[in-house]
């Protein structure tokens, strides 16, 4: 039976407090105070749809170096970094999937994340010899002082699909395509244009979604009353409950949309909620996940016994618990490019990327792959023809060695207030890895006083910088304080 074999999620560390944003804009739009409760996930300046999808996929795949079982990757988003470049190929490189992995971008609708899952299911059902990965991430821009600014949220999710050892079997689905325009973003535009809420609720969700859910349940041969969990992302209060009633589902089946803790993450939200639901699912439960967007798509899953024992590395719940409240509304504006600010002369440099160098060193730059000497066992980054072992400078003896999932700690560091940084001070330093090797790199998701020599860190895939003149986004890996290892060390010391 084809179904879900793994899942993961990602929620950025920063959580913009809605009260702070609403208060900052109350003079301009007093109505925003009605949306001032709770918080929304706020991506750091160096995060985007790709980096969040990578983190969610790592959560699902675990630290296993061998990921050859993944034969296809579908990346769903409406906020990809590139219009004409295979964004899924960047995700594939960061995850160090095999070059033979078939990669596809799925975009153009709010159900892009769920459509990526549909493609993964179809690929495995069609005879794919291995597993397919549906990954999604979303970072939508919204105008300052808008309702969308407070309703939205940044997040990512990933679902692995296979034909054996399933956590949840796929037992039915249905789809409809209707050119119902609830919102749109034209080519070259930064912000969505939204239509009137009542029209979307009454003519869109209420009329388009219920028939699709009923059709999916009919294919699954499941009565509506037997559904245990119903997932339907929407920012409109009461709509998911209303749709459930029209489809004959139990009111208690409707899953909380995480609006108070995360916000709506657009195309990623259906898979974020599905991943979150699977964390606490019991064997034999029926889960229906649907998403609205120029029609509707719905899938029906029945969980297996294995869902109770299999867990992701951290899961959506783990990331939600690891948040840091952010009350500085100006930081939100800067991180999202909503204000022009003086970056200083040190930011005045040409960030042109040598595409030839990127290609020749693709696994090192995007996958953080170094080298291990087959004669001495010495590991190093970057990989070179000559080993750095001082007692044996062996030539051409190195094989690829993956650093991304190796535990590391800070050897030396600096917090620099003079250099240009999107979030000063700029933290960077020398990281030493368990098993050998060291890399000089940036430290992200950190505040002054958070780190010291010996602080455990983990590697995260992030935006390094932008070439604004040419529209090129440069990615690399950074060190992030590893709170789980820090907590474990503290507990052991006590």
Q: Where are the domains of the chain?
A: 3-335, 345-368+403-493
| CB-based contact 65:405 (threshold 8 Å) | yes
**pLDDT at site 97:** 97
Q: Counting beta carbons within 10 angstroms of the beta carbon of residue 406, is it exposed (0 to 12), middle (13 to 18) or buried (19 or more)?
A: buried
In the block, residue with structure tokens 């040419």: 470
pTM, to two decimals: 0.97
Predicted confidence (pLDDT) per residue in 186-214, tens digit: 998 999 999 999 999 999 999 999 999 99
3-state secondary structure of 461: strand
The residue length of the chain stands at: 494
Tokens read off for 375? 């004669």
| CB-based contact 337:141 (threshold 8 Å) | yes
Q: Which residue ranges in the chain fall short of pLDDT 70?
A: none
Beta pairing class for 14-17 and 324-326:
parallel
| CB-based contact 237:254 (threshold 8 Å) | no
Reading phi first (left if > 0) and then psi (alpha if -120 to 50, else beta), residue 293 is in: left
| CB-based contact 47:472 (threshold 8 Å) | no
- As a whole number of angstroms, the distance between CA 157 and CA 56 comes to 5
**48, containing H or E segment:** none
- As a whole number of angstroms, the distance between CA 168 and CA 436 comes to 39
Spell out the residues 6+ positions from residue 451 whose beta carbon is closer than 8 angstroms to its own: 410, 413, 427, 429, 443, 457, 481
| CB-based contact 22:150 (threshold 8 Å) | yes
**pLDDT at site 236:** 96
Beta pairing class for 472-481 and 39-42:
unpaired
| CB-based contact 116:106 (threshold 8 Å) | yes
Computed from CA positions of residues 404, 61, 480, 52, in that sequence, does the dihedral angle turn out positive or negative?
positive
Cα angle vertex 18, ends 13, 19, to 5°?
130
- How many CB atoms within 10 Å of residue 430? 16
Computed from CA positions of residues 49, 300, 130, 315, in that sequence, does the dihedral angle turn out positive or negative?
positive
Domain topology for 3-335: Peroxisomal Thiolase; Chain A, domain 1 (3.40.47)
Residue 404: phi and psi, rounded to 5, are -55, -35
- CA neighbours closer than 13 Å in the CB half-sphere of residue 108: 8
- As a whole number of angstroms, the distance between CA 172 and CA 170 comes to 6
Predicted confidence (pLDDT) per residue in 66-90, tens digit: 899 999 999 999 999 999 999 999 9
b/e 271-280 (16+ beta carbons within 10 angstroms → b): bbbbbbbbee
């Amino acid at each position: 039976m084809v179904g879900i074999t793994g899942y993961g999620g990602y929620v950025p560390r920063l959580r913009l407090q809605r009260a702070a944003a609403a208060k900052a804009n109350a003079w301009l739009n007093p109505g925003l105070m009605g949306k001032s409760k709770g918080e929304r996930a706020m991506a750091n300046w160096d995060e985007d749809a790709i980096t969040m999808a990578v983190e969610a996929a790592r959560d699902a795949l675990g630290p296993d170096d061998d990921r050859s079982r993944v034969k296809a990757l579908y990346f769903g988003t409406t906020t990809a970094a590139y219009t004409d470049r295979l964004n899924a190929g960047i995700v594939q490189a960061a995850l160090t999937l095999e070059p033979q992995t078939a990669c596809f971008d799925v975009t153009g609708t709010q159900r892009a994340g769920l459509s990526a899952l549909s493609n993964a299911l179809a690929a495995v059902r069609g005879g794919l010899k291995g597993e397919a990965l549906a990954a999604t991430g979303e970072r939508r821009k919204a105008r300052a002082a808008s309702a969308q600014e407070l309703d939205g949220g940044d997040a990512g999710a990933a679902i692995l699909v296979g034909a054996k050892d399933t956590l949840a079997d796929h037992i039915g689905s249905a789809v409809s395509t209707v050119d119902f325009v609830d919102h749109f973003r034209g080519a070259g535009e930064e912000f969505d244009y939204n239509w009137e809420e009542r029209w979307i609720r009454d003519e869109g969700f209420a009329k388009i979604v219920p028939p699709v859910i009923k059709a999916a349940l009919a294919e699954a041969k499941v009565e509506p009353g037997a559904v245990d969990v119903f997932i339907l992302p929407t920012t409109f209060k009461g709509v998911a409950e209303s749709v459930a009633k029209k489809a004959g589902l139990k009111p208690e089946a409707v899953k909380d949309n995480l609006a108070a803790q995360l916000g709506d993450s657009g195309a990623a939200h259906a898979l974020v909620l599905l991943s979150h639901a699977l964390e606490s699912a019991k064997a034999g439960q029926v889960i229906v996940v649907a998403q609205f967007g120029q029609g509707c798509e719905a899938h029906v899953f029945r969980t297996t016994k294995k869902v109770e024992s299999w867990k992701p590395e951290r899961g959506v719940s783990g990331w939600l618990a690891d948040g840091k409240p952010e009350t500085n509304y100006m930081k939100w504006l800067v991180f999202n490019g909503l204000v022009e600010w003086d970056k200083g002369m040190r930011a005045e440099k040409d960030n042109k990327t040598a595409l030839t160098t990127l290609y020749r060193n693709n696994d090192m730059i995007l996958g953080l792959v170094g080298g291990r000497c087959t004669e001495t066992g010495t590991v190093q980054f970057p990989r070179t023809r000559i080993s750095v072992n001082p007692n044996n400078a062996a030539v051409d003896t190195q094989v690829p060695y993956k650093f991304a999932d190796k535990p590391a700690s800070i050897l030396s560091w600096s917090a620099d207030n003079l250099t240009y940084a999107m979030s000063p001070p700029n933290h960077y330093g020398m990281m030493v890895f368990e098993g050998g090797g060291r890399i000089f790199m940036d430290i992200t998701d950190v505040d002054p006083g958070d780190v010291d020599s010996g602080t455990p860190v983990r590697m995260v895939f992030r935006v390094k910088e932008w070439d604004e003149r040419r529209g090129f986004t440069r990615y690399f890996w950074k060190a992030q304080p590893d709170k789980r290892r820090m907590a474990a060390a503290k507990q052991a010391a006590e």
